[in-house]
Amino acid sequence: GSITTVADTVSSDKILIVYLSRTNNTRALAEMIHKQVGGKLVALELENPYPKNYQATVQQVAGENETGYLPPLKTKIDRIQQYDVVFVGFPTWGMQLPPPIKSFLRQYDLRGKTVVPFNSNAGYGVGSSFRTVAELCPNSNMLEGFTTRGGVERDGQYLVIKDEKADEAAAAVAKWLQKIKVLTHTH
Ligand SMILES: Cc1cc2nc3c(=O)[nH]c(=O)nc-3n(C[C@H](O)[C@H](O)[C@H](O)COP(=O)(O)O)c2cc1C
């Protein structure tokens, strides 16, 4: 999968922003992107939510990554073919793409669409997650992703992208959207 930067002017109604978030950092980024480009904002929910407990979740995710298990999604996207640009947001989990995002990318055909990943993490980066997005949608045009530091749930640090951190993140998001030239017009 390749990462290219192209100028693309799209109508807001052709933009979908899908995200997974447990402690709302990635959600904060999704809302910033939504505020700047419009479109449909969708939080991915699971048929069987992960445990509340952090360590139990880490264990479960490790097992799912090992077996390639794709957790079923409760969220259904209506007529995915109406969208030209799909932003896909997620935290880094175990230095990988979270299993529910693999479920999403397996379930929906994004061929021919522009796919734009964004991420929050505890400070260790995106790991293999952006690469896995590219691998799971080989026939999409994947643009350069956005990543920023979120919380550290392990240490009881939950929503971090708020107050002045949210202002900083919004500015960084705006700069990134300009760089990848996802320009919108509203009619
Ligand atoms: C199961 C699990 C595994 C995680 N693994 C990593 C990791 O490998 N590297 C990292 O930097 N952060 C890791 N984190 C921390 C999250 O990526 C970070 O807190 C992120 O901002 C959470 O996003 P959210 O608030 O949208 O859920 C992990 C969090 C969870 C719950």
Give pLDDT tens digits for 32-73.
Answer: 999 999 999 999 999 999 999 999 999 999 999 999 999 999
Q: Give the rounded percent of residues in the chain with a pLDDT score beyond 90.
A: 90
The residue count of the chain comes to 187
CA distance 2 to 142: 7
**Quick check: CB of 129 below 6 Å from ligand 1?**
no
Q: Is pLDDT of 155 > 70?
A: yes
CATH number at residue 67: 3.40.50.360
DSSP 152: B
Q: Is residue 2 part of a domain?
A: no
Q: Which pLDDT does position 181 carry in this prediction?
A: 83
CA distance 175 to 36: 11
Spacing, Cα 9 to ligand 1 middle (Å): 33
Across the chain, mean pLDDT equals 93
Q: Is pLDDT of 175 > 60?
A: yes
Query: Which residues, at least 6 apart from 138, have a Cβ–Cβ distance to it below 8 Å?
Result: 1
Q: Is residue 3 part of a domain?
A: no
What is the band of 8 on the pLDDT scale with cuts at 50, 70, 90?
Answer: low
Q: Is pLDDT of 3 > 60?
A: no
Q: Is residue 1 part of a domain?
A: no
Going through the chain in order, the beta strands assigned E by DSSP cover 8-11, 15-19, 40-43, 85-91, 114-121, 141-142, 146-149, 182-185
Q: Which pLDDT does position 5 carry in this prediction?
A: 46
Task: State mean pLDDT over 72-81.
Answer: 97
Spacing, Cα 153 to ligand 1 middle (Å): 7
Q: Is residue 77 part of a domain?
A: yes
How many folded domains does the chain comprise?
1
Q: Which pLDDT does position 165 carry in this prediction?
A: 97
Q: Is pLDDT of 184 > 80?
A: no
- Dump pLDDT digits (tens) for 15-28: 999 999 999 999 99
Q: Where are the alpha helices (DSSP H) in the chain?
A: 25-37, 54-67, 99-107, 129-136, 163-180
Spacing, Cα 161 to ligand 1 middle (Å): 13
Range of the domain at 122: 8-185
Q: Give the rounded percent of residues in the chain with a pLDDT score beyond 70.
A: 94
**Quick check: CB of 141 below 6 Å from ligand 1?**
no
Task: State mean pLDDT over 129-156.
Answer: 97
